[in-house]
Amino acid sequence: MELIADQGQLFIILACVFGAFMAWGIGANDVANAMGTSVGSKAITIRQAVVIAIIFEFAGAFFAGGEVTATIRKGIIDPLALNGQPELLVFGMLASLLAAGTWLLIASYFGWPVSTTHSIVGAIVGFAAVGISMEAVKWGRVGNIAASWVISPVIAGSISFLLYKSVQHFIHDTKDPFAQSKRLVPFYILLVGFVISMVTLLKGLKHLGLNLSFTDALWVSLLSGVVIMAVGRFFVSRIHADPEVSEAVHLANVEKVFAVLMIFTACAMAFAHGSNDVANAIGPVAAIYSVVSHAGEITAKSSVPLWILLVGAVGIVIGLLTFGHRVIATVGSGITELTPSRGFAATLAAATTVVVASGTGLPISTTHVLVGAILGIGLAMGGDSLNYRKVGSIFVSWLVTLPAGALLSILFFYLFRAIWL
């Protein structure tokens, strides 16, 4: 307790520095999951993707990042196992941030698309199991998180499969695909606006004091979706095609319409990614702040201060600006060939899965979700369209991330313990 009182301010400063470092890693490595499909399908340029991501990643992290943070902050470790030893939680959370950030720096340097959620959860479990005790880990909760890493890509893949099949049936296979796309794409835009608004209003804004009933959120989300649809319809109406062109060019005109839709889904995915993955950086920061501000009391209840959300949001944006464009350029085309209509289905499926998980407080892997969604598109087009070698290398990088995060965390935990105890 005396150490917390004497060194509390230093611990908070270190937590902010390490948290910003971890958030930088998320921006550098993981934002490609939000933007890769949009760039890979050539719906937007890398420069446009960076601008969209800066605005909507920041908004998602700042306005809707509080729910998942609670799970990272206090859902993995049993606080009773640390009674009388709050400094061990502080050391462990500092070690977890530094370990996960270091691993993301290594992965970004080599261009590996790894999971930031795997990194931080593996780091927290590693220091708690080895540095404290096996009983300190809430294995049931960890099991639920691990199960979500399997279930979430399956859900995203299923949604993207059905969405793309609907596009094929209602647009591509009709007599006049271009005219049909101009009629139906605004309704897909409505769906994007509704899904993001609904989950954000119900779960994401609690820390701002906004608590709407389900019915109120339903109407506000529907209204938001209609407004966004009206904006989308305006841009879609400005796309014109020559009715005398060949079928191949005609389908290219259809993809032009979907390129407008991809801008909206890119915004949705960036917002969803920011709301879910900011917790990986600021959850441990919030835990350290809570312990220090309550004089070492681990079980004290406290909301996440907005300035902590700001640390994560700014860190993600800086990581995106410095390293993110390199990863964005490669992720979108590695697994299967994407067009705007395919990219739309993958991105909306991934965004829907992420915001629902974010709203329920479950930290899922955005990498898993997006890869699952793209695999769903590949299966909808036929299994031969998938690059199985690329998929295999991605799976291997996922498997390595958990033990890498855990081992680095254990190393840093004992280092901090040796310095202060």
CA distances from 310 to 88, 99, 281, 414 (A): 26, 21, 11, 29
Residue in the block written with tokens 């939000």: 34
**pTM, 2 dp:** 0.80
DSSP 326-359: HHHHHHHHHSS---HHHHHHHHHHHHHHHHHHHH
pLDDT tens, 5-26?
Answer: 788 889 999 999 999 999 999 8
Q: List helix spans (H) across 135-246.
A: 139-167, 177-199, 214-237
Q: Whole-angstrom Cα distance, residue 199 to residue 215?
A: 13
Q: What is the mean pLDDT of residues 23-34?
A: 80
Q: What is the mean pLDDT of the chain?
A: 81
User: Is the CB of residue 329 less than 8 Å from the CB of residue 46?
Assistant: yes
Chain segment 79-120, per-residue pLDDT in tens: 777 777 888 889 999 999 999 999 998 887 776 777 888 888
Residue 27 carries which DSSP code?
I
**Domain count along the chain:** 1
More confident residue, 46 or 173: 173
**Is the model's pLDDT at 314 over the cut of 60?**
yes
CA dist., res. 203 & res. 358, Å (int): 8
| Average pLDDT of span 335-342 | 76
Structural domain span for residue 124? 2-420
Percent of the chain scoring above 70 in pLDDT: 85
Structure tokens at 14: 């270190």
Q: What is the arithmetic mean of pLDDT over 191-212? A: 69
pLDDT over threshold 60, residue 206: no
In this predicted model, what pLDDT tens digit does every residue of 292-306 receive, in sequence order? 888 777 766 666 778
On whether the CB atoms of residues 41 and 332 are closer than 8 A, the answer is yes
Alpha-carbon distance of 272 to 70, in angstroms, equals 17
List, in order, residues 6 or more apart from 300 with CB less than 8 Å away. 290, 294
CA dist., res. 298 & res. 128, Å (int): 15
For the ranges 97-101, 177-181, 187-191, 331-335, which has the lowest average pLDDT? 331-335
Dump pLDDT digits (tens) for 57-67.
888 877 766 66
Determine the Cα–Cα distance for residues 153 and 146; give it in Å rounded to an integer: 12
